[in-house]
């Protein structure tokens, strides 16, 4: 695996690989509002964690219609069959051109995931590149928002000791590599 420690904060690490294989206390899922599973990283996490994750998701309260996690918010389950204790499910925005509050909603998704981790006393967390797959958020802008939000959070927090940006595709990895080195 390619790895890099961020110049801005040594608690931030960049990795390329499959988030379900990481030895951390929490992994973040780029989920949909219904929390029913899907493709991409959501599919990989539900496959690795098994049916238990879906069962836990379906026990969470419904906000409206069939929405269990509104865009920008975050909820938590166990890791099911995975060794990771927690999965933090967040929902990034669908890119619609940029005028529908997509940047702020993406920032909220990172920030609320970090808050959930802090509530549980988690020391290490890994993020996928939320919204940059099926939801088509521009990768450069998404990476800038992700890095800025995590750096700002870490400035005020001493619980988290490691935040991993886990990139799956080479394009995202190169973008983060430039931002963090």
Q: Which member of 28, 84, 105, 130 binds ligand AR6 (CB under 6 A)?
A: 130
Q: Which member of 128, 143, 153, 175 binds ligand AR6 (CB under 6 A)?
A: 128
Does 25 contact ligand AR6 by CB under 6 A?
Answer: no
Structure tokens at 13: 């690490």
> DSSP assignment, residue 47?
H
Choose the binding region for ligand AR6 from 13-21, 63-71, 99-107, 150-158 (rule: CB under 6 A). 13-21
> DSSP assignment, residue 123?
S
Does 30 contact ligand AR6 by CB under 6 A?
Answer: yes
For this structure, is 42 an active site residue?
A: yes
Measured distance CA(149)–CA(153) in Å, rounded: 6
- Classified as helix, coil or strand, 58 is helix
**Can you tell me which residue has the tokens 């899922």?**
29
The answer to whether 68 and 60 are in contact (CB under 8 A) is: yes
Contacts with ligand AR6 by CB under 6 A: the residue count is 25
Does 113 contact ligand AR6 by CB under 6 A?
Answer: no
Phi, psi of 144 (to 5 degrees): -60, -45
What residues from 33 to 92 belong to the interface with ligand AR6 (CB under 6 A)?
38-42, 44, 92
- Contacts to ligand AR6 by CB under 6 A: 18-20, 30-32, 38-42, 44, 92, 128-135, 166, 168-169, 172
């Amino acid at each position: 695996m390619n790895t890099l420690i961020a110049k801005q904060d040594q608690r931030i690490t960049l990795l390329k690989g499959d988030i379900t294989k990481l030895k951390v206390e929490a992994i973040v899922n780029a989920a949909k509002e219904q929390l029913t599973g899907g493709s991409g990283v959501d599919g990989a996490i539900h496959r690795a964690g098994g049916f238990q994750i879906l069962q836990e998701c379906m026990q969470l309260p419904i906000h409206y219609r069939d929405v269990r996690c509104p865009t920008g918010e975050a909820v938590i389950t166990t890791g099911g069959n995975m060794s990771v204790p927690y999965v933090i499910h967040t929902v990034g925005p669908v890119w619609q051109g940029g005028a529908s509050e997509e940047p702020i909603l993406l920032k909220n998704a990172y920030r609320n995931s970090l808050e959930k981790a802090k509530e549980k006393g988690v020391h290490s967390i890994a993020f996928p590149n939320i919204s940059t797959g099926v939801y088509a958020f521009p990768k450069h802008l998404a990476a800038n928002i992700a890095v800025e939000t995590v750096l700002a959070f870490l400035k005020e927090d001493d619980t988290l000791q490691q935040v991993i940006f886990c990139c799956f595709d080479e394009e995202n990895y190169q973008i983060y590599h430039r931002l963090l080195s």
